[in-house]
A and B are shown apart, each in its own frame.
Chain A
Amino acid sequence: METLARIGSMSVVQRVATVLWLSFLMAGVATGFFFSVIDPLELKYCVDFPEVSRTAAYSIGFILFWLLTSTSSLLAAFFIYPTKETKASKSQG
């Protein structure tokens, strides 16, 4: 409960930053790993991949990774709170 109270006392900036920034870092790591193994120009041989420049592919790849990681962070940030019923039953018990 103490941890939750501490999360509750976080400022909005801190919450937004935690979700966006940490997922930004992880998306960067993922993009680095992914594109060091896979050359976007060679993707078109394997899958139906549109003809784009590498810079565009890296950028789109990064944004997609960021979308993925930030969604995960956002859901984690959302689900870390107990539901109203849990709060109520905890205070009763």
Chain B
Amino acid sequence: MSSASNKTEQSLYAKREKIYPREVHGRFAFLRTLSVIILLGLFFILPWIEMAGRQVILFDLPARKFHVFWLTFWPQDFLLLAFLLILAAFTLFFFTALAGRLWCGYACPQTVWTDVYLWIERKVEGSRIKQIRLDKADWSLNKILRKLLKHFIWLLIAGATAVTYVSYFTSEKALSHGLFSFQLGGWELFWIGFFTLATYINAGFMREQVCKYMCPYARFQSAMFDNDTLIISYDEKRGEPRGSRRSDVHTDYKKEGLGDCINCTMCVQVCPTGIDIRDGLQYECIGCSACIDVCDDVMDKMSYPKGLIRYTTQHAVDGKPSKILRPRIVIYFVLLVLFSSLFIYSVSQRNIIDLDIIRDRNQLYRETSGLIENIYTLKLINKDSRNHEFNINVDGIEDLILLIDRDSISVESGTVYDLPVRVRAKEEDLVGRSTVIHFTISAMDQTGLSIKQEAKFLGPNP
């Protein structure tokens, strides 16, 4: 085996070094904690909030309806959902071009849950140094208990996360009732188990590897970067040459040929992805700004000005002016506005009633009392927020007879009504084996609210 393939073989099984990020305090750490609390709060509280008797956000998969506040989306509205996804993507592009990886550092669930898990790890196992020592130490009762406690709390949080997550898809009430009375359906339990495991593994073990290896956004976000995008950067001109110094010489360290960086490696110790920000912009950097906070502290202690590591732009680092308004930003913004308007327009213009026609599959047609009869199932869909009373008409063939067992059909708000109907026509009026007819449903309680759909009336070969 050649040395090259040997090397490959080794790196294939290279063990990932566990990263122990040091705890950080500071402006940005505060913002991050705030963001974690708000986002987690929203995530856990939203399923419990009801509006007009139902969960405000409920992707009711069993009923094939998505409720988002006052809007209800049906499978027919799939295009709207696609719009919404495009909208979300452009929002992400816009903010990435403008302010870099804000999403990764402050809002991504991977970051948020990892932060929570790290916090628990610190509470149970102690500071970074203590964690490293504990992991190196032989197994003792203390170590076993601490590890057990940590994993137990991790699993509890993962379980709560999974139950909450699943409750966005089946109602929280039904879910918590089923959970506590041990009467959940097998599939609900399966998905709760699945997401518990996913949360536990992703936030407990995978951590920065998710960002490095699994996240598509981390890979392509650099395409949205330019020299005016906000990045976290180490001021090389100011910091280099780095080096440790005696505490009493910090007034004339420049004479000794040293920069402002005292090489304390705090920025490396706090980094959740284990990189050295001083090596320049790296795709592993999730923009969490922990290094800014910790470096500012060090600068304060040394009585140097803050901001050796700071939010800046490539242009600013190179001593050129930064521009906020630039073609990239304008284009993303225009697209964002365009898709938002399109989305709002489509939502306001969508049909609040709908009609699906399904032909009876057992029989193409039958002859009865000298007439040809076709059977259909009409699906009357009422997406409106109130109930409607409909009547039904059919046309397209002369003397078409519509047979329904009642005059009008009342369809409750947000429901589908399956109505079997029979339609009869004279054989001589048919134009061929298949004749196009139209069903029209009109609301009797609201003029102008009607919808017309095409169907085929089948008969014998002429």
| A residues apposed to B, CB below 8 Å | 5, 8-14, 17-18, 21-22, 25, 33, 35-37, 39, 45-46, 53-56, 58-59
Contact = CB atoms under 8 A, between A and B. Distances in A.
Given A5-B8, A9-B8, A11-B12, A54 B61 contact: yes
B30 interface: no
B421 to A, nearest CB: 17
A13 B170 contact: no
Given A11-B14, A12-B13, A59 B8 contact: no
Given A36-B78, A54-B62, A12 B8 contact: no
Nearest to B64: A39
6 contacts: A11-B213, A25-B216, A36-B81, A39-B64, A54-B64, A59-B191
A18 B75 contact: no
Contacts of A22: 216
Contacts of B214: 17-18, 21
A10 B11 CA distance: 7
Identify whether the interface residues of B are mostly helix, strand, loop, or mixed: helix
A11 B214 CA distance: 12
A17 B187 contact: no
Interface residues of B, number: 28
Contacts, number: 65
A46 B359 CA distance: 12
Q: Which 3 A-B pairs have the closest CB atoms?
A: A8-B8, A14-B213, A36-B78
Given A17-B213, A39-B75, A53-B62, A45 B11 contact: no
Contacts of A55: 61-62, 170, 185, 187-188
A18 B14 CA distance: 17
Contacts of A54: 61-62, 64
B12 A8 contact: yes
Given A54-B64, A55-B185, A36 B75 contact: yes
A55 B174 CA distance: 14
Given A55-B187, A59-B190, A59-B191, A13 B11 contact: no
A91 to B, nearest CB: 8
A18 B78 CA distance: 28
A35 B212 CA distance: 32
A70 to B, nearest CB: 14
A22 to B, nearest CB: 8
A17 B361 contact: no
Given A11-B209, A17-B206, A18-B213, 16 more contacts: A5-B4, A9-B12, A11-B11, A13-B16, A13-B206, A13-B209, A14-B213, A17-B210, A17-B213, A18-B214, A22-B216, A39-B75, A53-B185, A54-B61, A58-B61, A59-B187
